[in-house]
Amino acid sequence: MKKLTKKSSIILYGCSGLGVNMLNLIVGSYLCSALLVGGFVDHIESWTYLNRDLVIAGLWGGLIVAAKIIDGLIDLPLSHFVDNLKAKWGKRKTAIVMGFIPMIAAYLLFLVPVDPTASILNTIWFGGMLLVFYTAYTLTMITYYATFAEVTEKPEDISLLSNTKSVCDVAYFSLGYALVPAFVSMGINIRIVALLFLPLSLTMLIPLFTLKENDGQQPSHKPQAKPSFGKSLMFTLQDKPYIKWLCTLFVMNIGLQLFLSGINEYFSTTGLNMTFIMASCFVPVPLTILLYNKVTRKFGLGVAYRYILLVYSLGMGLMGLCRFIPDGLLFPFAIGCSLIVSFSIGAFFSVTYCVPSNRAAARKGAGDTASSMYFAVQGLFEGTSAGIASGVILVYLKQSGHVNVLTLVVAAACMTAFALSFLLPKSITQIGKVKK
């Protein structure tokens, strides 16, 4: 694999996943919620498909959990498939195309109910499309993430690539959580909004023109034998520092995904303008992430990670008090909470790219593992925790009428992750620390 040596090339490569991630956000945060009217107060006819329930709530919640868990489990065989794929065009580029096309097809089919009522047929249909979408999305993105350690030469390049990806994450989150509510408030149905953002997925074409693989040429040296799936998996699972990292990530991700999945329902209960609030969360992030990077360089990832967990918990906890604030003070109070959240939210994404890339790069000298397996195992933990957040906790809050306590649950999850972070070893906590 040819290395990216220019900063401009690394930055451009870090922008590749922006559009595909945007589609994933729309599916997970908007389209899944749009199948049930529970939790919505304003603009119900635009937030939902047909202004009525289209799925059976209990069964739908179970299918979301199943799809998320399967999405996490399928990371493992898909990563092995990607690492051992043989293609003249290049295994990474071929795998991206193999995931991208069915992902777009499933995204479009998810917009079409087969029954205008809350039927079992509809529920199974959307559950099936959700599974296809997540599987294809996983194949696309796990291939892309696997190249982070392959296209970079040194840890500084991995950090630049990870930070660029996190800034792009902030960009699509800003678009998703600021523009989507604005469109909906203008009376544009969420399905039409989903189509408006579809062209952004073309950013995933960047790796197809950037990656320089063997492309069918014979290597000048004898290639190393590829490890078996079981050997690659066990090698990753035996990385005890990484497993400790995944445990705290699991709990943190429950909180993060719960907020991102239920954000439109939560703000629907407060009477606040979601566009302005979320803009306050995401617009300052390119600046606030500089503080996170400064903390990381001085103290290491451990201190920086605890810092963002504390800040996020504080912002979420205060936001949970919105219903007790007088109307005249409610809007500035909510803006203040959002600005607090902005000091952490972008860094959450950077750390999830940085840790597996660094662990894979640090251990690749052993010669018997593949970088994508690190992201695959992390994807299993993230998928399971996301399923618990959106398929169990959020559905319960919606059906029981307790969406207004959502941010407090988020804060509790992040504080639990903060406590677990003290179990992380130095090989994790010292990542990114610049020695004098």
Res. 410 pLDDT band, cuts 50 70 90: very high
Is 155 a residue whose pLDDT tops 80? no
What mean pLDDT comes out for the span 51-71?
A: 84
What mean pLDDT comes out for the span 13-29?
A: 89
* CB hemisphere CA count around 306 (13 angstroms): 14
Is 217 a residue whose pLDDT tops 60? no
Distance, in Å, from the CA atom of 89 to the CA atom of 209, rounded to the nearest integer, reads 11
What mean pLDDT comes out for the span 92-120?
A: 92
Least confident segment among 32-41, 48-57, 75-84, 395-404? 75-84
| 341, 311 contact by CB (below 8 A) | yes
Show the tokens assigned to 215. 């492309």
Q: How far is CA 416 from CA 319, 336, 341, 423, 424, in A?
A: 18, 24, 17, 12, 14
What mean pLDDT comes out for the span 54-79?
A: 82
Is 367 a residue whose pLDDT tops 70? no
| 16, 161 contact by CB (below 8 A) | no
Q: Is the pTM of this model over 0.75?
A: no
User: What pLDDT, on a 0 to 100 scale, did the predictor assign at position 221?
Assistant: 47
Distance, in Å, from the CA atom of 68 to the CA atom of 376, rounded to the nearest integer, reads 13
What mean pLDDT comes out for the span 246-258?
A: 91
User: What pLDDT, on a 0 to 100 scale, did the predictor assign at position 368?
Assistant: 41
Q: Identity (one letter) of the amino acid at 425? A: P
Instruction: Indicate the average pLDDT of the chain.
Output: 83
Helix or strand (DSSP H, E) at 387: helix 371-387
What mean pLDDT comes out for the span 73-91?
A: 78
Q: How far is CA 221 from CA 18, 87, 91, 224, 380, in A?
A: 36, 18, 18, 9, 35
What mean pLDDT comes out for the span 343-356?
A: 79
- DSSP H helices, 147-237, are 155-174, 180-185, 190-196, 206-210, 229-237
More confident residue, 261 or 255: 255
User: What pLDDT, on a 0 to 100 scale, did the predictor assign at position 42?
Assistant: 73
User: What pLDDT, on a 0 to 100 scale, did the predictor assign at position 227?
Assistant: 63
Res. 366 pLDDT band, cuts 50 70 90: very low
User: What pLDDT, on a 0 to 100 scale, did the predictor assign at position 369?
Assistant: 47
Distance, in Å, from the CA atom of 188 to the CA atom of 145, rounded to the nearest integer, reads 34
| Burial class (CB within 10 angstroms; exposed 0-12, middle 13-18, buried 19+) of 38 | middle
* pLDDT cut 70: percent of the chain above it: 91
Show the tokens assigned to 322. 């919105």
| 215, 374 contact by CB (below 8 A) | no
Least confident segment among 280-284, 316-320, 386-390, 406-410? 280-284
Is 219 a residue whose pLDDT tops 90? no
What mean pLDDT comes out for the span 251-259?
A: 90
